[in-house]
Structure 1
């Protein structure tokens, strides 16, 4: 079929525009980090972290600048979920190898009534010597957990004791203290390490 010169020029321009748009789309995809977990960049989660470590020092996000930060909410009397999660994070550090020195893992206790700084330190360091535990007053916990949009609650047991329900996801922050990834509790150490490496 014969096309007039003006129509040929129009079709060529359209084709060139399509190619340019396709290349631009590829460029945008290449600049967007790909995570196994949910991308929460820009959410501001955890911005009001304000807890006490095992030395009695108040900790905020600014104290961890320069390292990727992995945060987990738990408690030392937890029978299964917390030990499993802490073991996952310890294995993640092994997967990271030398890069593990650029990562800080912190467990925030949802049970400040029983989790003193000393008890919490003993608990987390049983999994890895560089892990830290954060506890504090009920008011500090309420502020911090609210900032993470993490839930927790006391569950009374028949024997007069109690347990704690709590969020079980991992929160990953970049080296500037920005919340970047929400990682599922069932994520494997390799998947967690992959997401950390994107931010290092």
Structure 2
């Protein structure tokens, strides 16, 4: 019961931060500084990546796992479409798929998984402690459901749109209308 109350409280706090972002036209605010931060992970090529790796360009972070039946492949397909729709501006973004399932999602598996999506998308994983650290810093909800090989995850499905300085600009909702998502990405270019 306490966990449910804690998750609800975090959702309210996150929503308050998003409302503040929206009311400020997507510009970073004091509330948005509570989301994100430095991390240490490994990309699909086995190379270390940190927040500094992605600074200098707006970055879209999405949290999920390769065995996800719907939200993850849908969001990665949507991000592939959005990068193409942006034309040359698509090259001005980093898109990072962070696995919440480090036990199964090895760099090699992530590399194979990404072959179905835009080659500009990076995947990242790490030790359970490293993954728990980035999940905490981004205020992501991720909970393992089930036991054995058939477990799944309940997890947040929003895309975290950060500016080139690593500050949260806005969230892109799961299956947001294309033009709305593109507008939010364009906003990150100027924030």
Give TM-score scaled by structure 1 length. 0.76
- Matched with 2:112 is 122
Instruction: Give yes or no for the alignment of 1:59 onto 2:42.
Output: no
Partner SS state of residue 172, structure 1: strand
- The structural deviation recorded for 1:33 is 5.9
CA–CA separation in structure 2 for the residues paired with 1:62 and 1:137: 19
Instruction: Give yes or no for the alignment of 1:46 onto 2:53.
Output: no
CA–CA separation in structure 1 for the residues paired with 2:185 and 2:162: 9
Rate the CA distance shift 1:167–1:129 in 2: closer, same or farther, 3 A: same
- Matched with 2:188 is 199
Aligned length: 165
CA–CA separation in structure 1 for the residues paired with 2:115 and 2:122: 7
Instruction: Give yes or no for the alignment of 1:86 onto 2:84.
Output: no
- Matched with 1:97 is 87
Contact 1:95–1:189, Cα closer than 8 Å, also in 2? no
- Matched with 1:12 is none
CA–CA separation in structure 1 for the residues paired with 2:78 and 2:120: 15
What is the alpha-carbon root mean square deviation over aligned residues?
1.8
CA–CA separation in structure 2 for the residues paired with 1:160 and 1:198: 41
Gaps of 5+ in 1: 1-31
CA–CA separation in structure 1 for the residues paired with 2:93 and 2:37: 18
Give TM-score scaled by structure 2 length. 0.80
Q: Which moved more, 1:62-71 or 1:48-57?
A: 48-57
The structure with the larger Rg is 1
Contact 1:75–1:110, Cα closer than 8 Å, also in 2? yes
Among 139, 148, 159, the alignment partner of 2:138 is 148
CA–CA separation in structure 1 for the residues paired with 2:127 and 2:188: 32
- Matched with 2:25 is 34
Gaps of 5+ in 2: 1-22
Instruction: Give yes or no for the alignment of 1:186 onto 2:186.
Output: no
Contact 1:125–1:131, Cα closer than 8 Å, also in 2? no
